[in-house]
Amino acid sequence: MTAQDLVQQSGLGERKWRRRSLWALLLLIPLTLAVEAYDSVKALLADNDLFARRVAWGQSVHFGGSDWKLTDLRGAFGMANLPPDSVPVLADFSVKVGDPDLQKLWLGCKVMLIDAAGRRWAPTSAVTLKAPGDVQTCTSAIFSGAKSGDTLNLRETFLVPKDVTKTIRPAVGLASERPHFLLFQLEKD
């Protein structure tokens, strides 16, 4: 075997491995992108309320280890010192505790109002209305020490534009149930 034959043979081996490497890249690049995207998609689904589970007025539904029921949604009209064309809205819920580990199941509790256009409003502390002593917010109920079978009365206060009061619906999202959330329908729906 001459030196020229050795050079030619090594060139064939090198081309063979180069071809294999290119084929491997066709497999590895999409696989790498999928692995990197997985964490982003997982974070998106875990942190957002994306899929509504509709609940009829007066219906109780099991969610986050407890039975949730919307008991009242009303505006508190005629209050002074509010921004023009805004209305405080009160959303009241009755929740029968099933699993008492609320700190785990209700973590990231988010009560919101959603209008027909999909806009969302979070509770506000800008409006303070006197509530009965046994009424709590979603966040304070997490640390209430409630036991299985207890019924919690929850109230959240919102400040919304007057023009959306006819189309808003209360919703509840919990970290243990995300990306699903409850969307309560009103009587007339």
Could you report the per-residue pLDDT of 130-177, keeping only the tens digit for each?
667 788 898 889 999 899 999 999 999 999 998 898 899 999 999 889
Q: Rounded to whole angstroms, what are the CA distances from 89 to 62, 72, 82, 176? A: 25, 10, 13, 27
pLDDT at residue 189 above 50? no
Q: In this structure, how many other beta carbons lie within 10 angstroms of the beta carbon of residue 69?
A: 17
Q: How far apart are CA 33 and CA 41, in angstroms?
A: 12
pTM value is 0.73
Residue 172, CB-side half-sphere exposure with 13 Å CA sphere: 32
